[in-house]
Structure 1
Amino acid sequence: MKTRTLGIVVVVLLLLVAVVGGGLWAVGRLSFLDSYRSEYDYTVRVSADEPISNVTIFVPLPVHDGTSDVGTVVETREYLKPDSWTYSVVETRHGPMLRIQADEIPAEPTYHRAVIENDRLVRWEQIPVEEYVQNDSETVRVEHDAVEVNADLATNRSIDTKSPERAEPLLNPRSNARAVPCEWPHDADETQCYSYDTMIFVEYDGPETTNLTVTSELRGGNSWWVGGWNFNEYTDRVYVYDLPGDQQGWVVVQGELQTGVGNYPLNPPQ
């Protein structure tokens, strides 16, 4: 009798453990699916160490199947950017690229005062430096040492961050891709690294001693919450540092791709 009772108790306990475990798994799975996000982030930044004018730059753009969905949502977050700064997706002999144009990239900051009408901010007007008041919320100092544009694009499917060459946008143009060793901290078994050749176009007026820096970076990734934030991603980037003033027109530069960065759950949403 005691043995039978003990057996029943053990079975009940096992059932309780199974129910609790199943409930925790279900809650965790629900949290995973509810928090799962997939998106692309694209950032371009152009800067010079001396004032330059009449600037035109073509930079690699995220492209898949000959088109760029990311390019359609490019914007600038410079709320006081000069009106002469423009950006657009254009077709070149190397395929679609992002064109950035600016009348100038000045070395000196500009100063602005808020114009308030009916208790609402309607615009900022430029003022002389003498009228700028530090720590006054109605006047601001703006550094114009770079032109920067960004794009964020969410997708309703899981992004393939291990093999983006097959199904995801990558910076284009690209050629002569080759595998290279990954550097710490991205040297895990899942991570693969590649180098490739790409093109930028540079044209501006400025001193011959000018050094230009151009960065174009795409991140495609998935993130979710289960006991903390988790993620995986691929990163495609082109960094051109200190390009001398005598290198203008089409210039061959290096790009790098990292895939399989982060952690990978079982049964991610498709």
Structure 2
Amino acid sequence: MDKIIKITLGFFILILVVFVAFFSYMSYIDTTYRNSLSGTYAYTCTITTDAVISNVTFFLPVPADPNGNSPVVAQISSRDVTGVPGDWNLTLFDTGKATLLKVSAPTIGKPAINGSAQITSVTLAVNTSSPALIDTRSPVENAAVFRPVQDIHEVACPAGEAKTDNTTECFNYFTNIYADYTAASSVSVSINASLEATNSWTIFTPESNAYENRIAMLTIHGENHGWMTTLGWIESGIGEYDAPTITS
């Protein structure tokens, strides 16, 4: 009988040790994940011209959620944007369908020298953190993208970027840009914008997931006075999704 009791007690202690070890391991995983988790947004918008354009006004989409908000919008509102020339004026507008950045400048660009064009390229940039986990799988519904999102449809992802677990998805859609300025007919102006949204963490090794959103480079020849439709592109579900689920 004593032998049976000892075996039973030993078995119970073994189970208890395994349970405590498992609980401690899971607690370590959860705590490490929470403490190392960070979400970041990196936004850039580049305007390039090969000559002088005058009386300039642009309305450019900025990344925002369906309610018109995002950490990028908040930082622009606080005028925490790098790369802004001293004679540019930036103002945010919420149209109800999109959040737009109004860019006003008396002139952009340089005159040709000895018949050679002088390229001027200005890049506005915002790098900011997210107060919460970013939904990198469904950014159109739950995160910040360039809006309005019109006629969105799934397309094949670039070769070599599809994941074996089929998390990566790519989409094209149409969005709008406004450009109003005077210029010679030979002038070329290009506009492109990008957003990278990333969750990163370290448990045993660094891991991350992300989505990317871009406005395809729009090139305008000569002066322009109005709205234009351009192509937007999203790649979502990039990276790893085996991290612990945060429940509270």
* TM-score, normalised by the number of residues in structure 1: 0.71
- Spell out the pairing of 1:207-246 with structure 2 (5 A cutoff): 207-245=184-222
Question: What is the SS of the residue equivalent to 1:242?
Answer: strand
Q: 1:172 to 1:21 in 2, by over 3 A?
A: same
2:158 aligned residue: 183
CA apart distance, 1:178: 0.7
Q: For residues 231 and 82 of structure 1, what CA distance do their matches in structure 2 show?
A: 34
Check the 8 A contact 1:59/1:200 in 2, yes or no.
Answer: yes
Distance in 2, matches of 1:14 and 1:153, equals 47
Query: What's the CA shift for 1:54?
Result: 2.3
Q: 1:76 aligns with which of 64, 81, 88?
A: 81
More strand as a share of residues: 1
Residue number among 89, 101, 104 corresponding to 2:104 in the alignment: 101
Q: Which amino acid aligns with 2:61?
A: P
Determine the C-alpha separation between the residues in 2 that align with 1:172 and 1:52. Answer: 26
Distance in 1 (CA, whole Å) between partners of 2:200 and 2:133 is 10
Alignment correspondent of 1:154:
129
Out of 9-18 and 216-225, give the one that drifted further: 9-18
Counterpart Cα distance in 1 of 2:61 and 2:231: 11
SS of match in other structure, 1:243: strand
| Separation of aligned partners in 1, 2:99 and 2:23 | 50
> In structure 2, what residue type is equivalent to 1:53?
S
How far residue 106 of structure 1 moved from its aligned partner, in angstroms, is 2.9
SS of residue matched to 1:62: coil
Contact 1:158 1:269 in 2 (8 A): no
Partner of 2:114: none
Report deviation, 1:15.
7.7
What's the offset of the Cα at 1:251?
0.9
2:133 & 2:247 partners in 1: Cα distance?
Answer: 6
Tell me what 2:146 maps to. 171
What residue is the counterpart of 2:115 in the other structure? none
CA positional deviation for 1:36: 0.3
- Tell me how far 1:64 sits from its aligned partner: 2.5
Give the SS at the match of 1:165. Answer: helix
The two structures have a TM-score, normalised by structure 2, of: 0.77
Shift of 1:158: 1.5
User: What's the CA shift for 1:10?
Assistant: 10
Structure 1 residues 185 and 60: CA distance shift in structure 2, 3 A: farther
User: Could you tell me how far 1:105 is from its partner in structure 2?
Assistant: 2.3
Change (3 A) 1:266 1:40: same
Q: Tell me the secondary structure at the aligned position of residue 66 of structure 2.
A: coil
Cα contact 2:66–2:141 (8 A) shared by 1: no
Report the equivalent of 2:55: 54
Is the alpha carbon distance of 1:218 and 1:202 closer, same or farther for their aligned partners in structure 2, counting shifts above 3 Å? same
2:169 aligned partner: 192
Whichever residue aligns with residue 93 of structure 2, its letter is V
**Equivalent pairs: percent with the same residue?**
23
2:92–2:102 CA contact under 8 A, matched in 1: yes
Would you say the 8 A contact 1:38–1:159 is kept in 2? Answer: yes
- Decide whether aligned partners of structure 1 residues 248 and 185 sit closer, same or farther in structure 2, where only a CA change above 3 A counts: farther
Letter in 1 for 2:141: R
- Contiguous gaps of at least 5 residues in structure 1: 109-142
The 2-side partners of 1:153 and 1:32 are apart by: 20
Q: SS at 2:159's partner residue?
A: coil
The alignment yields a C-alpha RMSD, in angstroms, of 3.3
Q: How many residues align?
A: 232
Question: C-alpha offsets along residues 75-129 of structure 1, whole Å, 9 cap, x if unaligned?
Answer: 3323xx5421121112459643111122222338xxxxxxxxxxxxxxxxxxxxx
Q: Would the alpha carbon gap of residues 262 and 37 (structure 1) be closer, same or farther in structure 2, given more than 3 Å must change?
A: same
Is residue 146 of structure 2 the alignment partner of residue 145 of structure 1? no
1:90 maps to which residue? 93
Take 1:49 and 1:229, find their aligned partners in 2: how far apart are those partners? Answer: 42
